[in-house]
Amino acid sequence: MLPFSYAVRNLSRDRSRLVQSIMGTALVVFLVMGAHALNLGMTRSLTSTASPRNVLLLGAGSEDSMQRSEVSEQAAGIAETSLSGIQRVLGERAVSPEIIHMAALETTQGEEIRGLIRGVTPRALLVHPGIVIQEGRFPGPGEMLAGRLAWRRLDLAPEDLQVDSVLEFDGEPLTISGIFASPGTVMESELWMTLQDLRTLAQRDTVSTVVLRLETDAELADVELFTRQRLDLELSAVSEQSYYAKLARFYAPVRTMTWTTALLIAASAVFGGLNTLYAAFASRVRETATLQAVGFGRGQILFSLLQESLLISMTGTLVGAFFAQVVLAERVLPFGAGAIELDLEPRTLFVGLGAGLLLGIIGTLPPAFRCLSPPLPQALRD
């Protein structure tokens, strides 16, 4: 085999080409890792929000959107007394009537923003056990509880949505009473306020949904039977997992577009690398022929060319992964259903490593085959 130092020395032949190849690979790896982290975060936030034991009572015909759903205010009490499989926590049944409302808000600086508000009662903590109040307290009248990532959804600075900050809703000042977290869920981008306050400000006499948390031995079919028996309530029972699965499918085109963009840029980098390597290897036909003449086989020379290319691509991969860690790690991005926090997991790093390896191999083989294909006498004369 050709010594490894031969491949290393060849890197300094054209330093401008070396820098161009490294930065091209770094850009591709950075974009591929970003696309993977975005898709992973979006899918995880939607699926993690759903609990396998929660059932949503929605208005008939509005099974795909809680915001459009209207449920009678009495439905929560009727369901609580009619169903036997509802979980009890400290003697309280886990039944939570909630209003989901997209509201126009205003900051103290007069900036108009739009945010997703959830009107709740303290029983909401029974059906959403992942909620943890990190600062402050549960909201009372005239107060709001802000999700940890709500500032990003509202396009504000983090310090603009802290405890004791004030937002106006329809001219009414609402004080932020606390900050809550629900790791990996879209609820972290919401604002919570008391159900009665939101009902008054939104001028609603109905709720959006009634969330039920079932016992481990209860089934969705029991709730569906209840909705069919009480046709006067005009309800539909949907498992929370099914609801957010539909929402995830709704955002599938966004994820597809992200991957398509990253792959198109990767393809452009591959073709650009091919052109660069064709030009670089064309001037080395006599050199490779000389190596063959002194006894090195074509396979050994091809392996040395691959080593050279992989050194460049792996350097670019390290540069791209470094910038991805600096730029993307823990970055919060808004999307329609909420906000997601990007997390560069080990599989994201492996995806970036795989992209760098493929670039190094695919971009090398065609130019290397062309460089080694001429017969030895012809190559020595060229």
Confidence (pLDDT) at 60: 87
* Two tokens, residue 168: 């106006």
Radius of gyration of the chain (CA): 30
Distance (Å, rounded) from C-alpha 149 to C-alpha 49?
A: 14
Confidence (pLDDT) at 382: 67
Does residue 133 have a pLDDT over 80? yes
pLDDT more than 70, % of the chain: 95
Q: What is the pLDDT of residues 74-119, one digit of tens each?
A: 888 888 888 888 888 888 889 999 999 888 888 888 888 888 899 9
- Distances in whole angstroms, Cα of residue 10 to Cα of each of 18, 40, 271, 296: 10, 39, 22, 17
- Which range has the worst mean pLDDT, 2-11, 334-343, 373-382? 334-343
- Distances in whole angstroms, Cα of residue 329 to Cα of each of 24, 335, 366: 21, 17, 36
Does residue 190 have a pLDDT over 80? yes
- Looking at every residue in the chain, the average pLDDT score rounds to 84
Does residue 138 have a pLDDT over 90? yes
Residue scoring higher pLDDT (268 or 236):
236
Does residue 338 have a pLDDT over 70? no
3-class DSSP assignment, residue 351? helix
The confidence band for 194, taking pLDDT boundaries of 50, 70 and 90, is very high
Residue 145 CB burial class (10 angstroms; 0-12, 13-18, ≥19): buried
Look up the pTM and report it: 0.74
Average pLDDT over residues 364-381: 77
Provide the 8-state DSSP code for 187.
G
Does residue 258 have a pLDDT over 60? yes
- Which range has the worst mean pLDDT, 46-60, 76-90, 210-224, 260-274? 260-274
Which residue in 297, 264, 314, 98 sits closest to 193, CA to CA? 98
Distance (Å, rounded) from C-alpha 101 to C-alpha 61?
A: 18
Does residue 44 have a pLDDT over 80? no
Confidence (pLDDT) at 114: 85
Confidence (pLDDT) at 210: 92
Average pLDDT over residues 242-256: 79
- Which range has the worst mean pLDDT, 199-203, 248-252, 269-273? 269-273
The confidence band for 336, taking pLDDT boundaries of 50, 70 and 90, is low
Confidence (pLDDT) at 273: 67
Does residue 291 have a pLDDT over 70? yes
Does residue 335 have a pLDDT over 80? no
Confidence (pLDDT) at 137: 92
Does residue 141 have a pLDDT over 80? yes
Listed ranges 208-212, 260-264, 271-275, 343-347; the one with the highest mean pLDDT: 208-212
Confidence (pLDDT) at 183: 80
Distance (Å, rounded) from C-alpha 175 to C-alpha 167?
A: 7
The confidence band for 27, taking pLDDT boundaries of 50, 70 and 90, is confident
Residues, the chain: 382
Confidence (pLDDT) at 334: 67
Confidence (pLDDT) at 177: 93
Average pLDDT over residues 235-258: 82
Confidence (pLDDT) at 317: 92
Does residue 21 have a pLDDT over 80? yes
Cα angle at 365 between 364 and 368, to 5 degrees? 85
Distance (Å, rounded) from C-alpha 204 to C-alpha 307?
A: 68
Residue 127, C-beta contacts closer than 8 angstroms, at least 6 positions apart: 51, 54, 94, 95, 96, 211, 212, 213
Average pLDDT over residues 39-44: 79
Long-range contacts, 371-380 (Cβ 8 Å, 24+): 371/281, 371/282, 371/284, 371/285, 371/288, 371/305, 372/288, 372/298, 372/301, 372/302, 374/285, 374/289, 376/289, 376/292, 376/293, 379/285, 379/286, 379/288, 379/289, 379/292, 380/286, 380/289, 380/290, 380/293
Average pLDDT over residues 240-263: 80
CA 158 from centre of chain? 20
Categorise residue 267: left if φ over 0, alpha if ψ from -120 to 50, beta otherwise.
Answer: alpha
Average pLDDT over residues 364-368: 80
Does residue 333 have a pLDDT over 80? no
DSSP per-residue letters across 28-72: HHHHHHHHHHHHHHHHHHHHHH--TTEEEEEETT-TT-TTT--EE
Please answer whether residues 158 and 151 qualify as being in contact, where contact means their C-beta atoms are separated by less than 8 angstroms.
Answer: yes
